[in-house]
Structure 1
């Protein structure tokens, strides 16, 4: 008899999640927030590192650790700005953005006489958002964007799109986009913000704000203030617009946005589960908010990692039920207990028995096999989803490399800290009585650099000690950049005893390296 899947829904408020899981998928609901007896977990808040670390093999959870890199407005803006440094023309799909207080000086120079939209760093449903033309009196910490004042209008109303995006893997990235979505209209007819800057129901399209306006009309998907994307594309086709290009531009925005955070997502994922071969312990259903301007160019407004699944209107019920059902189908059926135990035993055996190079080759083979199997299953049950990455259309490798360069540049200190932590975990044969003594052993001395203008024509010489384990070789040499030349040479000594405040510590097996640095003009 086939095992019935269990989904933990103790930490979600949305009844439609439970309804689809139980009534349509036939899964068993687990309402115990402390239970670990489940195959799939759906929760309305982000997953913590500890929670992700404690996942059993082949369990799945509906968030990636570190997704705040896209979901928080300030982090999203920072990632996209970094990518724009490398690819100015390709990353021009988000408004000019300033992060306060960091960019206050730049905002005062470039934000004058512009309509600005001010957003809290982390909020949802339009909370705390307002328009202004004054730079004075802004919150101390916030995100400020140049307001797009020429939106595409239908029935003289501004609108935005809620696009559903499913991420099924982060290393490598696996991205699906849903072909249906929501069009959310403002409830007041649009006029230039110069004369209507305080009209939130005119300039903000958030449903949570506009539903309280007496003018709000529920509709059924083809009318009212919330409609379907299929209706919108039909309308645009009828008036002669190129909807195929618009949809391709939206897909391009989704891919490039996720690539901007890819190094961080994969880093956190592999840090917690380095031996996961399936790349499927997490999945994430994101809500991309897109605004279309008068020239039909799409603009990214924000990314929601916990999009609302309330079903207040008929179109909400229809679209969200389809999205959730196809998401559950694409997640795939986790193996039963026998398959799980067999996989774990096989993996542990391989890791113990293989050499490093053999293990690397075996892992690559298993990852490719697992990926091909997933692709075959996903192609059969895509439903309303369309895989957009990886694909054969568009070359995104340069953006992936650019994201890695940005990550390496901005997170070198984090990587160094992690490396230090890992080094400290390694067993070292030493006995140290005080933390200060440990610091004295392992922190290199601070040495004032020699400036060229202070040097005499003759070589200047100084001898320093590097407090690091001595390598196997007794001599070393190094030549630096052409403007100056340094010859490094030295020998190695082993300390016998170190005294510190009356206490003694012995370094039993570590040597030190003493180097002589000779600097002179070429």
Structure 2
């Protein structure tokens, strides 16, 4: 490419936008923080990452520890396992709390396709058996593994990634956030747009005009409704087929409306902290993948971040989307996305 040409993706953007690789990179990032003694990786007596909001400096810290003025929970992604590779680890975790609900997602799909919820191991045993059969065959030798390689993706400077048939069939299974913040009794999530122009040094911008996507059916944790995607999945591609879908507002709120609602019901200070935490999560997720992203000078990327908020006003990163939809379902949608495209091009 010549100096005046740009591409709207980083060559290996999938390190952030593919569900399994995002989790893998965030887990690696946590371990690196722990290794260097960064207080962001502090754990409690139960081995869980703790919230470290605005603590004063402690005396006699280890030399390697870094002081941070604003620290939030590093544990911003729900407990997640890759299947079929981590099936045994998942079973071990599931048995610790057999009443928990989990959500299964194919790694490479979008718009809610292939997603389902489970609360019993028997619900995925058939899937597991099929996957294990494939995995067993994979271990029979390097020659057989080589035969299963479908193609090689080249990203310049000798970087290559082998993509096999089994990688296309991979799933992630995450602990379901079963205590979401509800408005009008309905579950919602946030779609936020983040533009990255370079990873090294990291330079990112968050678009102020994000929106909330609401389910059309009131939320219930009842096991009898686990199959009702109109209760659990906020994707417009799913909700627009519901009987209660409103084509005028599209089941959406602007982020500014959400902020006003929370300020009036929870208070301004708590609301400000929530959005500060969301911004921090976005930065941490980008820092987690920065070392592995091919930082091509011709590249930029606008990501669609999906964030869910629980009833304690803790934000959780659900996934990051490459090429977030720019189609509009309402008049407000069209204005928002027109301005998003315009602002993105002005910056790059």
Which residue, 278, 289, 299 being the options, matches 1:250? 278
Which residue, 12, 16, 26 being the options, matches 1:70? 16
Residue 145 of structure 1 deviates from its aligned partner by: 0.3
**Residue aligned with 1:175, SS:** strand
**Residue aligned with 1:183, SS:** strand
1:210-242 superposed Cα distances (whole Å, 9 cap, x missing partner): 00111001334xxx6112111111111111332
Match for residue 138 of structure 1? 127
- Give the conservation status (yes or no) of the 8 Å contact 2:198–2:295: no
Which residue, 224, 235, 245 being the options, matches 1:216? 245
Q: Equivalences for 1:340-379 in 2 at 5 Å? A: none
Q: Distance in 2 between matches of 1:143 and 1:196?
A: 21
Q: Distance in 2 between matches of 1:324 and 1:138?
A: 41
Residue 133 of structure 1 deviates from its aligned partner by: 1.2
The alignment status of 1:91 with 2:74, answered yes or no, reads yes
Which residue, 331, 335, 340 being the options, matches 1:314? 331
The alignment status of 1:239 with 2:185, answered yes or no, reads no
Q: Distance in 2 between matches of 1:119 and 1:176?
A: 28
**Residue aligned with 2:186, SS:** coil
Residue 323 of structure 1 deviates from its aligned partner by: 1.0
Which residue, 86, 105, 116 being the options, matches 2:102? 116
Match for residue 101 of structure 1? 84
CA RMSD of aligned residues (A): 1.4
1:317-345 superposed Cα distances (whole Å, 9 cap, x missing partner): 121111111111111xxxxxxxxxxxxxx
Which residue, 197, 200, 225 being the options, matches 2:229? 200
Residue 134 of structure 1 deviates from its aligned partner by: 2.2
Q: Equivalences for 1:14-25 in 2 at 5 Å? A: none
Residue 81 of structure 1 deviates from its aligned partner by: 1.7
Q: Distance in 1 between matches of 2:180 and 2:233?
A: 12
**Residue aligned with 1:79, SS:** helix
Match for residue 27 of structure 2? 81
1:427-465 superposed Cα distances (whole Å, 9 cap, x missing partner): xxxxxxxxxxxxxxxxxxxxxxxxxxxxxxxxxxxxxxx
- Give the conservation status (yes or no) of the 8 Å contact 1:227–1:315: no
Q: Equivalences for 1:19-38 in 2 at 5 Å? A: none
**Residue aligned with 1:169, SS:** strand
Q: Distance in 2 between matches of 1:240 and 1:291?
A: 17
Q: Distance in 2 between matches of 1:326 and 1:292?
A: 27
Name the TM-score, length of structure 2 as normaliser.
Answer: 0.73
Residue 102 of structure 1 deviates from its aligned partner by: 1.9
Q: Distance in 2 between matches of 1:132 and 1:311?
A: 32
Match for residue 198 of structure 2? 169
- Give the conservation status (yes or no) of the 8 Å contact 1:228–1:315: no
Q: Distance in 2 between matches of 1:161 and 1:321?
A: 19
Q: Distance in 2 between matches of 1:292 and 1:315?
A: 23
- Give the conservation status (yes or no) of the 8 Å contact 2:104–2:172: yes
- Give the conservation status (yes or no) of the 8 Å contact 1:226–1:315: no
- Give the conservation status (yes or no) of the 8 Å contact 1:80–1:91: no
Which residue, 151, 154, 160 being the options, matches 2:180? 151
> Of the two, which has the highest radius of gyration?
1
Residue 117 of structure 1 deviates from its aligned partner by: 0.2
Q: Distance in 1 between matches of 2:255 and 2:126?
A: 39
Q: Equivalences for 1:288-299 in 2 at 5 Å? A: 288-299=305-316
Match for residue 285 of structure 1? 302
Match for residue 65 of structure 2? none
1:13-65 superposed Cα distances (whole Å, 9 cap, x missing partner): xxxxxxxxxxxxxxxxxxxxxxxxxxxxxxxxxxxxxxxxxx11231111111
State the aligned residue count: 263
Name the TM-score, length of structure 1 as normaliser.
Answer: 0.49
Q: Distance in 2 between matches of 1:108 and 1:60?
A: 45
1:330-376 superposed Cα distances (whole Å, 9 cap, x missing partner): 11xxxxxxxxxxxxxxxxxxxxxxxxxxxxxxxxxxxxxxxxxxxxx
Question: Unaligned regions of 5+ residues in structure 1, if any?
Answer: 1-54, 271-278, 332-522
- Give the conservation status (yes or no) of the 8 Å contact 1:153–1:294: yes
Match for residue 129 of structure 1? 115
